[in-house]
Amino acid sequence: MSQQKSTPIPRCQRCGRLAAETDKFCAECGNFLRDAWTDRRLLLSLSQEREGNSRDAQRDLERLLDIEPDNVLANHILGTFYFHQGMLDRAIDRYERAVRSEPKFVLAHYDLGVACYHRGNMKAAAAAFRDCLSIDPDYKAAHYRLALSLFHLGQLEEALEHFQQSMILTPEYLMAHYHMGVIYERRGDLDAAAREFEKSLAEAVGEVSSIYHLALIRRQRGDIKGAEQLLQRAEEFAAAKALS
């Protein structure tokens, strides 16, 4: 009796992720799975970009997207070109096209959030980072970026949760301690605020904002001399930074 052969599970040739037979794009890297010609065009564009021919690479991607406007990876790469040129609206449009074509493309969601953040649209940025985390709950940078977006939206309690999560996943994000300090300070918890500001100085001894906040806390506690010493330290650092 002959045994029926099982159909091999397809893999993305770019990143190796397993893909369903019906998948058109790789959810991990955005690679177009069914057209080697398109993939060669993308590789050519990337090669031109690495060689310093960004303008030619961008033009080739734009031409490719005229032919295949929903190509995930081409839209993502072109969006990144636009982002680095400061053309944020164009970048956002390309990233949005990428995630519409492949809703599980986590990097495109993250880059969309970054572009919206720099555009000043914190609500859209937060939504993009939430989408990113719905796909990968341990996406380290997304927790930090979401926390920043929520901080600027005034949603401080939820921002604090994501800052804390980012510190668990990525302890080197020292500026998370600064923002956590601000949140605790606004709560009136000066002890917790002072601890976070001190932590933010662990590898950035002259971080001016944290020093100023620590000085204000010392002044509120009646330590006028300690506050003046910190303010002097901040002024010296700011002057040194201006000369560097």
Q: For the chain, what are the domain ranges?
A: 10-136
> Phi first, then psi: what are they for 25, rounded to 5°?
-125, 150
What is each CA distance from 111 to 83, 86, 166, 218, in whole angstroms? 9, 14, 18, 40
pLDDT-based confidence at residue 37 (cuts at 50, 70, 90): very low
Tell me the three state secondary structure of residue 198.
helix
The CATH homologous superfamily to which domain 10-136 belongs is Tetratricopeptide repeat domain (1.25.40.10)
| Distance, CA of 172 to chain centre | 15
- Using one digit for the tens of pLDDT, what is the confidence trace for 172-231? 788 899 999 999 999 999 999 999 998 888 765 457 888 889 999 999 888 899 889 888
Tell me the three state secondary structure of residue 25.
strand
pTM for the full predicted model: 0.73
pLDDT-based confidence at residue 5 (cuts at 50, 70, 90): very low
pLDDT score, position 36: 43
- Report the alpha-carbon distance of residue 208 to residue 216 in Å, rounded: 12
- Report the alpha-carbon distance of residue 244 to residue 111 in Å, rounded: 32
- Report the alpha-carbon distance of residue 198 to residue 192 in Å, rounded: 10
pLDDT score, position 99: 95
